[in-house]
Amino acid sequence: MREYRIKVVPVNIPTSTVHNFLPYLEKIFRAQVSVEEKIFPISLLIESFNEERKQIDAEKLLLKLIERYHTSLGNWIITLVEGDAYVKGLNFVFGIAKQGWGGIVFTYRLKPEIYGDYPRPSLYMSRIVKEVLHELGHALGLGHCLNHCVMRFSNNIIDVDNKPVIYCQRCRLEIRRIYPGLLEI
């Protein structure tokens, strides 16, 4: 069986946050999950920042990351950026992905505090896990899903909170078909 790998790259997010959600990934995927220890060059973030919008250009950053972090078949990268990002045509995005490579999750809008809530670490963590699974799903080749599924498209934070932290049966079948043995459950 092929050895699958998922590498998590924390850009400007505390590594403790990353270590908190690794067990979720290990529970769902039969893959070697590791954390990139090298310091991320913050210049890439600065170069992707749109001064007018005060947001990160998600597509620009994605291209820079793809250039920097190479993956091979069955290897994916998931990057976490504590920032706010957009793509053309949308006010903001929670994440972005590239099939076969991996994705980026932008955590700023996942924080309960920015919606007037008090900081709730477990809620924040479950939102991060959902968005990580969502972008990884795209990286694996899944599209958006209308089922009660982590691959549902999220327009806002309520949508994120309403979706489950799991792939639906249909999406699981699809992952099994493309990457046999990758799913733990």
Q: Among all residues, which ones are annotated catalytic?
A: 135
Q: Which is nearer to Zn ion, 136 or 168 (CB)?
A: 168
- Binding status of residue 151 toward Zn ion by CB under 5 A: yes
Minimum Å distance from CB 116 to Zn ion? 26
- Binding status of residue 65 toward Zn ion by CB under 5 A: no
Q: Which is nearer to Zn ion, 30 or 172 (CB)?
A: 172
Q: Which is nearer to Zn ion, 20 or 147 (CB)?
A: 147
3-state secondary structure the chain: CCCCEEEEEECCCCHHHHHHHHHHHHHHECCEEEECCCCCCCHHHHHCEECCCCEEEHHHHHHHHHHHCCCCCCEEEEEEECCCEECCCCCCECEEEECCCEEEEECHHHCHHHHCCCCCHHHHHHHHHHHHHHHHHHHHCCCCCCCCCCCCCCCCHHHHHHCCCCCCHHHHHHHHHHCCCCECC
Q: Edge to edge, what strands does the sheet with 32-35 contain?
A: 32-35, 5-10, 75-81, 102-106, 95-98
Residue 148, token pair as written in the block:
């009660």
Of 149, 160, 175, 183, which lies in the binding site for Zn ion, with binding defined by CB under 5 A?
149
- Binding status of residue 62 toward Zn ion by CB under 5 A: no
Residues 126-145 close enough to bind Zn ion by CB under 5 A: 145
Of 65, 93, 157, 171, which lies in the binding site for Zn ion, with binding defined by CB under 5 A?
171
Of 11, 168, 182, 183, which lies in the binding site for Zn ion, with binding defined by CB under 5 A?
168
Find the part of the chain contacting Zn ion (CB under 5 A) among 54-62, 84-92, 98-106, 169-177. Answer: 169-177
Q: Which is nearer to Zn ion, 44 or 166 (CB)?
A: 166
Of 36, 147, 165, 166, which lies in the binding site for Zn ion, with binding defined by CB under 5 A?
147
Residues that bind Zn ion (CB under 5 A): 145, 147, 149, 151, 168, 171
